[in-house]
Structure 1
């Protein structure tokens, strides 16, 4: 059965107090949350205000934005206009470039040998026409009246005489000028000779100066040699003086040694005297000591007799001590000898063991060396086999590479032949196109010359088929020039007999008549 609480002991709380307790238990800060909420509301209001302000048209920011947008639109329009101008300018430049290229092509075409030859032929036709006009004019002048001719001849004669006189005056003036020039040249030659003489004198003076300087140099060398000789003589004299001084010093030293020897002898004699005096004194002192010793011996004799018995006891004790010491020394010697023998035996055993160890080490080293040699032989054999295998592989690769190279070379040769055929075909096509273009241009020029009643034979000769302008036959659109095989390198002449020349002239006359008939006029 559930025990109900006592309502009198139950505390009743208000809602606010209950919420406060719950917040304290849950660590909730209402003031902080309210502040955060207020900040969020202010930010939301600020953003809303910004959004509202964006739509206003009379604000400073909106006006600035409109100005920026208008400026951007103007810049876009200006950029589009500049782009159109650039495109038009590029088109114009491209057109000008094409025109320049075409003009350059035309000029280059006019600079070709065949076109220049055609133009030379056209110029020759103009010259021939002018020559015909001059001949006609000359004939007309001859058919004029005699007086006019005589007057003209007189005028011409007077003009010729005046011209001859002027020529003679010019010749005389020229002779005078030549004489003046010759005089000037003579003067210049004299001046040059004087200049050369001056140069010779200057060279002579320079040679004398060089000779003087050379003699001065030799004199200075002799002076230097004399100075060196004098210096050597001075050194020799100084050396001799030094040797003389050394002899004098040696003599002085010998005299000093003699004086010292005399002083030493005097000192030795004085010392011997002092030694003799000392010996005499010592002998006197020895006699006194002998006398004193004699007195002491007498006293000791009495005392010794009294101490004889005690001395014998001391001697016996000393003998016993000496025998004990000798026995101890003998034992020590025996012990040292035994220790020495033991150390010798140990050394012999150690030496034997070391010898055995060295022998074992030598045998092991020999076995290791043999094993290493076997391993080295095996490795060498493997390396030789690998090297032989590698050589075989390299030879196989080289054979494959050579075969590949041969195939590639054959393919390149085939491709080169195809390229050469294509190049020859293109070249022939280009030559044919150039020939057609030249023939069209030459026909146009010939037709124009024929309409102007010019002599078109040089034009026909210049416009004949074949590039090169040689004397040989046309071959592949080219008329080559055959060169003689000598040092001159000139074109081979055409040796034609008289009959062949007549046939050729006849053929040329027929060609000219045919050209006349084709052009529809006669000369």
Structure 2
């Protein structure tokens, strides 16, 4: 019995019996492991080879780690270069970071300077600052004016000293000028004499030219006289020719008049002949008319005889026609009786047909009543369904109205909240605006005090600067309200700003009219109660 058999889990004895040591086989450890390996299917050779491979791999890694630390190998040199490169890149990265930080700082400073410059420029664009700068310019102008006035006074005092020297110089210059004028007068006299001689020679030449011109004019007059005589002769000849032409025209006109009288006489004779022919035609026409009337009378008499014969024939025909009508009347009566009998039979048939139709209509009416009753019942059912639908519809509308009311209430609450928020924002804005106005006023006062101090050191007129540094924004003359100095305009079409005169007189009048103590005012006015 083996130890393995003793410890099998499938066998269970009711009573545990201790083993017999004489029957137990004791195995060695190697044998036990061999048995276990055979049972578990483990190959020792493969396990040994695997362990050997792992050992070799560990040795290889160990050798690589050792070789990695050697400085004179290719891998060591390469590793050293990589480490040096990494260190160099890290240093360059640090430098870049430092430069980027410095550049960011420089840009931030530049941005701050630009913002400060922009704020300063915007501040200088303010109306009050502009007014202060104008006042400063005004003070400079006043100073320049004073300097110019002083310079003018100095120039006047210097001019008095220079007048004497100027008189001496002018006297010398006048004497020299007088001498030169005398020399010029002598020279001009000589020139005038020369010009007079030239004029005399020119006059003689002109007289000779006039004589020559007179001779030429006389010669031209003689030629003109000859031409005039020739023209008169030609005019006389032309007048004679025109007189002959007029006489010829007169004779031709007289001949024309004679010919026209002859033509008129011929036309009168022709018209007379035409009138005679017309009278002959009229007389002939009247004769023909008389003959036609006589012919018509004869024809009328012949027609009258023919009418009597025709009347007799018509009477005979009428009698025959009356007889025929009597016979036709009897035939019509018989025909009417036959038609009446037929009509009575037709009426009877019509009454029977109407009775049958009445019976049919009664049955149809009864059927219609039944159908109407069914339709009424169906209509009642439809009305009930419609009423139910209307009730559901009304409930739905009430639900919609309730939802709409809730929505309106929510909208009203939201609107109220929004209005309250807007009011809060407006109050906050006003507070912020007041704070900014106060800061701006403080800044302006500091700037103006600096300007006034500099102007005082430069000995400038400070009155315009004090006027420009008054409290309040705006160029009005009124009192300050909420940091604003408004303007007051006159009530007329000009719309000009009302002035503000501040003097000792106005201040005294204001003190008289504005009493600080009511009792003092009563005493001043004479009231004793």
The TM tier, using the shorter chain, reads: 0.3 to 0.5
User: What TM-score, normalized by structure 2, do the two folds share?
Assistant: 0.43
User: What TM-score, normalized by structure 1, do the two folds share?
Assistant: 0.44
Structure number with the bigger relative contact order (C-alpha 8 A, sep ≥ 6) is 1
